[in-house]
Chain A
Amino acid sequence: MTLVSPDSGPGAPPASRPGAGAASDLLGSRQRFARRFFAKRAVIPASLIVLAVLVAGIFAPWLAPYDPLDQSLLDTMQGPSWEHWLGTDDLGRDVLSRLIFGARIVLIAVAQAMTVAVVIGVPIGLFIGYMGGWWDRIVMRVVEAVISVPGIMVVIVIITVLGTGLTKAMIALGLLFSTAFLRLARGLVIAEREELYVRAARVVGAGTGRIVRKQILPNIAAPLIVQFTLTTAAVLLAEAGLSFLGLAVQPPDASWGTMLTTASRFINLHPWLALPPGIAIALVVLAVNLLGDAIRDSIGRGVGETATLRPAARDFSAAGTGADGAPASQRERTGVPSDAALVISSLDVQFPSPRGVPLTVVSDVSLHVRPGETLGLVGESGCGKSVTAMAVLGLVPEPGAATAEAILVGGQDVAAMSRRDLQHIRGTQAAAIFQDPTTSLNPAFRIGDQLSEILRIKRGMTRKASRRRAVELLEMVGIPDAAARARAFPHELSGGMAQRVAIARALSCEPKLLIADEPTTALDVTVQAEVLALLRDLQRELGMGMLFITHDLAVVADICDRAAVMYAGEIVEEAEVTELFANPRHPYTEGLLGAVPQAAHRGTALRAIPGVVPQPGEWPTGCRFAPRCPYSTTQCTAAPVEIDVQHAHQARCVRAAELTLDGAE
């Protein structure tokens, strides 16, 4: 792989700030480090390989069966045999013995190069990081210049001056790699200095030496260890390469690099010779790299990239929706019109859990949205409302799976659809806008292009027509100077403008249903009102249904016709908005209404619902709200509570009939 470059270590830990306190973690909880470190599968074999090199290098004269320089011109180029386990080379020297003595070269090379690198790099880095100003600027300019040259060129220049030989070459390598330690130390000090200003340690009177000793050195230890390991691997490869070129170890001395030089000369007739030293180098570099990675992952917060996998990758290879039988047995529900924009019946969403039992995050959710109507889906974060909305588009994040009796979008059952049909439905029948408009637009493309792409693909428009239509759409959502703004990138827009663009994109194919997932939460209050007004106007104009997800009851009052309240994965109450606000039938709704500032009576304290939403998997058997409910009795927790579908104003509460709850004025 890479030869000689200060940053060629795997993952190349950047010189940027490493998490302050990484070291105190290391020192304060060695056990936890050890547990995480040894939990990695590769650590033990890798450690064994490194140990083997150490033992072979140190005890080479006792371990090697022959003198590595002993020639025997009668036994040249032999294959493996009982006398010579790895055969002999062109001068009849024992390959195994040379390999073992090569390990000694490895140790010497690493020790020399790393000493030079650390002894030069760390102090200078600490110094310029601490001093700042011109010191920092001048030294960093030189370092940048050195880094911009291919590493081997730097080494070649230094070797030109110093001459060839192992130690001289390793000094050259050490100088080269010192830049990595220099940048690391400098970055750490600068990060630490910033914090010192905050803590004002200087004002308290801590001296320079004390600051370095107490604050900087403990924090630098962990990233330095990581950098040290990764650089060691790079030094190993570089030494082999330089010896191979004849610039480091000189023949007849045995090093893995010079053994490969010999092998390369006889490669046509005796390819066997290339295997032992090559495999040795590769194995040791692999082992050191793996150890470095393991150390970094165990301590290295902020050092390099953590390559751990994140579980919630979204659906790219399978549809998130699985059909669960035929949608025939739809439960009898009041007021579900046949022309509904959206009907969800009995939606369940489950995620596999590490313990094997699937985790249910949404259970038995049923709702509908009429054309031209806005249904609010209200609840605290984590109650399952966004997942419900994503299920409508068949985009439940992997590895989650949605099952439903039916999810009808414009009369077509999304739950039973092929992936191709589902893809067709998205955008044309149902579209969505999301919470953070600045992140829901692709930062790398112009907004006009993002709109026209959809028009071209979903509506088959020509490039020219789609562009014209994109500008019209931008005008429709109230973007001033739309033709010019179409060429803007998302980062050039304000949050409110970006949300308008997102709305334009969602409406570009005139869907029957718009899913609005907290579309105003990330916006300023004044902008919120504008965006809500825009949505209301557009809805009236286009006659589409809207599923409006929010945790903000004021927004519900403002824009929704009906509202469904979700708690812990299920709908607990559903009614016309005015009815719901005036006469809540579920204690949770009452609690939510009481927690809204406008609803609280002047002079009385704002009521908060005690406790927190239970996590999926920790839901109580009976009423899920019972543990937090001021009205709960034993009957509440006895059995799962059904929602009273026969009412126009539905509630999932066994005491709904007997309780008189406070609404909002």
Chain B
Amino acid sequence: MLKLAAQRLVALVPLLFIVSLLTFSITDLLPGNPAELIVGDDATQEQVDLVHERLGLDQPWPQRYWDWLTNALGGDLGTSFFNSVEVTDAVLLRLPVTLSLTLAAVVVALFIGIGAGLIAALRPGGWTDRAATAGATVGQALPNFWLALILAVVFAVKIRWFPATGYTPLTESPGAWLRSITLPAIALGVGAAAILARQTRSAMVGVLQTDYVRAARAQGLSARRVVLKHALKNAMLPVVTVLAFQVTVLLGGAIIVEQVFAVNGLGSLAVTAVRRQDVPLVQGVVIISVIVVVLVQLATDLLYGYLNPKARPS
């Protein structure tokens, strides 16, 4: 397992390098001079030049990239264009909020998705199968932010089970955290649940027809045991691959759902940054998100290796 982890980690280095390169080049792709953007319309040329120099824009490109990269590796992602906020601080302040929402949504997706897919697969063509498939088809079509609105109206405004807005950190009060995260997590997780359900169903239907499932039954193991242990571990292989991708999607989706519930995560930070073309902040959000995604991929690779012995390096 350690060997597998090391292999995957090494493979991720070029990926991070390319992402950093692409993200860094935003500054140079901006139409016009970022310095002018910062100082505003009625600034003098001297002020513009001053900012230009302060941003290091007079340096050659490779030099600037090198400086930026070395700083970033040291944990310094620069300062916002518009105030003196350190990007790293700002992003890390919001990250736990978005992460906990994303993780909660993953839990919702796994729970609903695998459960529904499993039930559907036990009787292909039966009513549970048809219901689950129909549910998945609809679930895939619902915009998450609209679902968020509807859930908020029903469960927060009409019947006041959950708060309509806001976020309580886990460290402050676990109970309040759970209440504040439930509706956003469901709104966010339903789409991924639909995809996981489809995937689980088709994988499970296939696995239940394999020789080793028949052999396990012939050996007198109970249907429950064969399905939940022998078949499920194999059926989870394609599901894990899809899940890795869905975590990425959910992390992105969290940005929108956060807006509906007025949760101050990466979402509002990112949206404000984009609208003001606050390049360092955008870069910071992207880089940190990519690191999260990369770690998730690493984790799923290891999970895949656990589920599929053939994928382990010998």
Enumerate the 6 nearest inter-chain pairs by beta-carbon distance, A residue then B residue, closest first: A1-B191, A150-B252, A427-B220, A426-B220, A152-B252, A286-B141
- 9-residue interface stretch from A28-36, A125-133, A153-161, A462-470: A153-161
> CA separation between A150 and B194, bound complex, in Å?
19
B62 CB within 8 Å of chain A: no
Report B58 CB to chain A, min CB distance, Å.
Answer: 21
- 9-residue interface stretch from A66-74, A181-189, A314-322, A614-622: A314-322
Chain A residue total in the interface (Cβ 8 A)? 96
Q: For A310, what are the chain B residues with a Cβ–Cβ distance below 8 Å? A: 124, 205-206, 209
* Interface residues as binary, A156-169 with B (CB distance below 8 Å gives 1, 0 otherwise): 11011101100000
| A-contacting residues, B214-231, CB 8 Å | 214-223, 225-227, 230
A-B contact pairs, 28 of them (CB 8 A): A1-B140, A1-B144, A3-B252, A3-B256, A10-B140, A12-B195, A12-B242, A148-B19, A150-B248, A152-B256, A153-B285, A160-B26, A247-B274, A274-B150, A286-B141, A309-B129, A313-B124, A314-B217, A315-B217, A316-B223, A316-B227, A423-B220, A427-B218, A431-B218, A440-B215, A453-B221, A454-B220, A505-B219
Report B203 CB to chain A, min CB distance, Å.
Answer: 9
- 9-residue interface stretch from A93-101, A110-118, A139-147, A626-634: A139-147
Among A10, A314, A427, point to the contact of B195 (Cβ < 8 A).
A10
Q: For B225, what are the chain A residues with a Cβ–Cβ distance below 8 Å? A: 457
The answer to whether B211 and A151 have CB atoms under 8 Å apart is no
Report B217 CB to chain A, min CB distance, Å.
Answer: 6
The answer to whether A11 and B137 have CB atoms under 8 Å apart is no
> CA separation between A490 and B217, bound complex, in Å?
18
Q: For B192, what are the chain A residues with a Cβ–Cβ distance below 8 Å? A: 1-2
> CA separation between A506 and B152, bound complex, in Å?
56
* Interface residues as binary, A218-247 with B (CB distance below 8 Å gives 1, 0 otherwise): 000000000000000100010011001111
- 9-residue interface stretch from A260-268, A331-339, A643-651: A260-268
> CA separation between A443 and B213, bound complex, in Å?
11
In the complex, the chain A residue whose C-beta lies closest to that of B157 is A268
Report B137 CB to chain A, min CB distance, Å.
Answer: 7
Give the B-binding residues of A (Cβ under 8 A): 1-5, 7-8, 10-12, 141-142, 144-146, 148-153, 156-157, 159-161, 163-164, 233, 237, 240-241, 244-247, 260, 263-264, 267-268, 271, 274, 277-278, 281-283, 285-286, 289-290, 305, 307, 309-317, 393, 395, 423-428, 431-436, 439-446, 453-454, 457-458, 489, 491, 502, 505-506, 509, 515
> CA separation between A439 and B206, bound complex, in Å?
13
In the complex, the chain B residue whose C-beta lies closest to that of A281 is B143
* Interface residues as binary, B138-163 with A (CB distance below 8 Å gives 1, 0 otherwise): 11111111100110110001000000
Q: For A313, what are the chain B residues with a Cβ–Cβ distance below 8 Å? A: 121, 123-124, 205, 208-209
Q: A2-B253, A156-B282 are in contact. Are A424 and B220 (CB under 8 A)?
A: yes
> CA separation between A145 and B23, bound complex, in Å?
11
Among A11, A431, A446, point to the contact of B198 (Cβ < 8 A).
A11
The answer to whether A150 and B125 have CB atoms under 8 Å apart is no
The answer to whether A245 and B271 have CB atoms under 8 Å apart is yes
The answer to whether B293 and A260 have CB atoms under 8 Å apart is no
The answer to whether B198 and A10 have CB atoms under 8 Å apart is yes
> CA separation between A570 and B123, bound complex, in Å?
30
The answer to whether B249 and A2 have CB atoms under 8 Å apart is yes
Among A2, A142, A244, A277, point to the contact of B18 (Cβ < 8 A).
A142
Q: A313-B205, A434-B211, A505-B219 are in contact. Are A244 and B279 (CB under 8 A)?
A: no
Q: A245-B256, A428-B220 are in contact. Are A1 and B194 (CB under 8 A)?
A: yes
In the complex, the chain A residue whose C-beta lies closest to that of B225 is A457
Q: For A489, what are the chain B residues with a Cβ–Cβ distance below 8 Å? A: 309-310
Chain B residue total in the interface (Cβ 8 A)? 96
Q: A2-B144, A10-B198, A237-B143 are in contact. List 18 more A-B contacts (CB 8 A).
A: A1-B191, A1-B253, A4-B252, A142-B22, A144-B15, A150-B252, A152-B253, A157-B22, A157-B26, A233-B141, A246-B271, A260-B145, A310-B209, A314-B209, A393-B218, A395-B218, A441-B212, A505-B215
The answer to whether B220 and A157 have CB atoms under 8 Å apart is no
In the complex, the chain B residue whose C-beta lies closest to that of A159 is B274
The answer to whether A491 and B141 have CB atoms under 8 Å apart is no
Report A266 CB to chain B, min CB distance, Å.
Answer: 11
Q: For B297, what are the chain A residues with a Cβ–Cβ distance below 8 Å? A: 148
Chain B CB within 10 Å, residue with most, of A426, A442, A502: A442
Q: For A443, what are the chain B residues with a Cβ–Cβ distance below 8 Å? A: 212, 234, 308-310
> CA separation between A309 and B125, bound complex, in Å?
7
Among A10, A454, A491, point to the contact of B219 (Cβ < 8 A).
A454
B2 CB within 8 Å of chain A: no
The answer to whether A289 and B18 have CB atoms under 8 Å apart is no
Q: For B144, what are the chain A residues with a Cβ–Cβ distance below 8 Å? A: 1-3, 241
B181 CB within 8 Å of chain A: no
Report B234 CB to chain A, min CB distance, Å.
Answer: 5
The answer to whether B249 and A149 have CB atoms under 8 Å apart is no
In the complex, the chain B residue whose C-beta lies closest to that of A240 is B143
B168 CB within 8 Å of chain A: no
The answer to whether A150 and B293 have CB atoms under 8 Å apart is yes
> CA separation between A431 and B220, bound complex, in Å?
8
In the complex, the chain B residue whose C-beta lies closest to that of A312 is B209
The answer to whether B141 and A260 have CB atoms under 8 Å apart is no
Chain B CB within 10 Å, residue with most, of A426, A458, A506: A426
Q: For B234, what are the chain A residues with a Cβ–Cβ distance below 8 Å? A: 442-444
The answer to whether A457 and B256 have CB atoms under 8 Å apart is no
The answer to whether A282 and B215 have CB atoms under 8 Å apart is no
The answer to whether A426 and B274 have CB atoms under 8 Å apart is no
The answer to whether B219 and A314 have CB atoms under 8 Å apart is no
Report B283 CB to chain A, min CB distance, Å.
Answer: 8
Report A180 CB to chain B, min CB distance, Å.
Answer: 12
Q: For A263, what are the chain B residues with a Cβ–Cβ distance below 8 Å? A: 149
Report A249 CB to chain B, min CB distance, Å.
Answer: 14
Report A14 CB to chain B, min CB distance, Å.
Answer: 10
* Interface residues as binary, B264-303 with A (CB distance below 8 Å gives 1, 0 otherwise): 0000001101110101001001100110011001000000
